[in-house]
Structure 1
Amino acid sequence: MIIKKIFNNNAIVAEGSDRHEFVVMGCGIAFKKSVGEKIDEKLIEKTFVLKGKDASEKFKLLLEDVPTEYVSICYDIIEYAKNVLDAKLNDYIYVTLTDHVSNCFKMIESGISTHNPLIWEIKKFYPKEFKVGMKAIEFIHDELGKNLPEDEAANIALHLINAQINNSLNKAPDAAKQAKMIQDILNIVKYTYNIVLDEKSISYERFVTHLRFFFHRLDKVELSDTSDEDFLLKQVREKYKKAYECMLKVQNYLGKELSDEEKLYLTVHIQRVSKKN
């Protein structure tokens, strides 16, 4: 195993005997070393084997700008998530999560705070991923001494959710089918309200994101309804009558009776995206 590229004293691109490249990290692994020299394998602490060429190349570019300790903590978070969620994650998670965490630290240092508008949906529909996000905040505090808000637990959970969805939608027909269904639902909203949706609006972006998660849940076991959700749905049905009627059209299109909580969230999103216009 030889050194193919050096990022810093603790991170390099290595090349194995089969000529495959991968990123390895370890304290002082490249100290006083040059490209072409053999690696002291005893110093290897973390190995990144990204099968996708695009993910691999972008990860290498990321390593040139992101501190090694950020990359290392994200690696630990992802490995922890794989074990807890017992799920396969798309290789891109190493790029997206590391980039997100790095930018998050930059914003905090600049005094900029952000809010995740999907935090309650993530808590409600993806409790396991959210718990991993909360654990990730603990890891970051313990390892880097940085305090992150609960919203960041939701953001981290969001990356894990997307990595699972993207992995399960690896086959083109599935992705194409989902894209068509999203477009069909958007058209139902357009024709119901006779409007042109603002595709650059936050409401539109939230609605499409919700639909992606929605389809991921659709064939799973239905979530049980509660009296609280039933009460809220009645309130929303009365307050947003047209949005509720539009939601029923979507339900009819899907050919499936939705749970009260799914009806509730869909109605609220339809109301928001239509009100924006």
Structure 2
Amino acid sequence: MEQQVTIKKVLNNNVVIADHPSYQEVVLIGKGIGFNRKQKDQISLNKADKTFLLSSEKEKEQYMNLLPHIEESLIDFMNDILIHIEQRMGQELNEHIHVALTDHLAFAINRAKQNMQFSNPFLLEIESLYPKEYQIAMEVVTMVYDKMGIQFPNGEVGFIALHIHSAVTDKTLREINRHNQLITQMVKLVEDTMGITIDKHSVDYHRLVQHLHRAVDRVYQEENIGDEIRLAKMLKEEYPVCYNLAWKLIKVMQKQLNKPVDESEAIYLTIHLQRLTHKS
């Protein structure tokens, strides 16, 4: 039996807010779903291409304020984009992406129409850290071009990838950006201390970024990776420069994340840095 909900507010021809018997307010998106509808009309959930909750009052208010400034055709297209992202990621997205990505793409389209160019300083880090999200973001950029004839600058791929990563991990963009800035800071410290420039397109760079990313994640999760005192002593004697650099990186993490870092991280960092110096 088709589940019926009661329309509470028609936002435009493609979006309505309805009262759901179990979830209270839900947002229904679908082509023409709001056409000739009015408050208190009954509507089947099957009529919607996409149904989502906006349990946060702040996000609901943002979404309702945002819609009047966006063409209805873009709302319909955003639905296609979000369905594509969910299918490609193979999981449901956090509800906040409906507000955040719609808002972002609407402004990005306006910027592109005005030929406003800007760069994304973390583009290579984002591509290295979140390869699947980055690939899907490239597909979204292609969808926008195919549908609207608008070509986004490369930096836009990185921003869209961050929105996708935020929606699948339930981390805020602020947290993710802080994470990326920390990794960029640590890579620069490695280059400055070792007197090298790492090719940002190389396998070495990708491995270093991935290693630092996992180390930061372990700090967030307060994960202990074991106590290897003898190995640490040997590495300190054999590779003092790399061992000291590893501790510099650990201190940077501790300061930026305001969390203790397991001392065993020094072992893994030293080994990785020694490989990097040896190759350099």
TM-score tier (shorter): 0.5 to 0.7
Distance (whole Å) between structure 2 residues aligned to residue 259 and residue 83 of structure 1: 36
2:28 is matched with which residue?
A: 24
**Count of paired positions:** 210
* Counterpart among 60, 63, 68 of residue 64 in structure 1: 68
Q: Is the 8 A contact 2:14 2:75 kept in 1?
A: no
What's the TM-score, normalizing by structure 1?
0.60
Distance 1:214 1:78 in 2: 31
Aligned counterpart, 1:93: 97
Question: 1:251, 1:19 → 2: CA distance?
Answer: 41
Letter of the 1:148 partner, please give it: F
CA distance in 2, matches of 1:130, 1:61: 29
* Corresponding position of 1:216: 217
How far apart, CA to CA, are the structure 1 residues paired with 2:118 and 2:54?
30
Aligned-partner residue type, residue 158 of structure 2: A
User: TM-score, normalization: structure 2?
Assistant: 0.59
Q: Counterpart amino acid of 1:215?
A: V
Q: Which amino acid aligns with 1:24?
A: L
Secondary structure class of the residue paired with 2:170? helix
Q: Does 1:7 align with 2:11?
A: yes
Q: Deviations over 1:121-177 (max 9, x none)?
A: 011121111101111112222333322232211110011223344359xxxxxx9xx
Q: Which digits, 9 at most, give the CA deviation of each residue in 1:207-239, with x for residues without a partner?
A: xxxx9997337679xxxxxxxxxxxxxxxx9xx
1:70-219 residue pairs with structure 2 within 5 A?
A: 70-87=74-91, 89-167=93-171, 215-216=216-217
Do 2:10 and 2:39's aligned partners in 1 also have CA atoms closer than 8 Å? yes
RMSD: 4.1
CA drift of 1:31 comes to 2.3
Aligned equivalents of 2:91, 2:49: Cα separation in 1: 23
- C-alpha contact 2:246 2:269 (8 A) present in aligned 1: no
Asked whether the 8 Å contact 2:112–2:151 carries over to 1, the reply is no
In 2, the alpha carbon distance for the partners of 1:102 and 1:116 equals 18
Contact 1:122 1:154 in 2 (8 A): yes
Bigger radius of gyration: 2
Q: 1:217 to 1:123 in 2, by over 3 A?
A: farther
| Residue aligned with 1:22, SS | strand
* Alignment-mate amino acid for residue 59 of structure 1: Y
Cα–Cα, structure 1 residues 91 and 250, in superposed 2: closer, same or farther, change >3 Å?
A: same
- What SS does the corresponding residue of 2:28 show, helix, strand or coil? strand
How many angstroms does 1:87 deviate by? 4.9
Structure 2: which 5+ runs fail to align?
190-211, 224-240, 255-259, 274-280
Matched residue type, 1:100: H
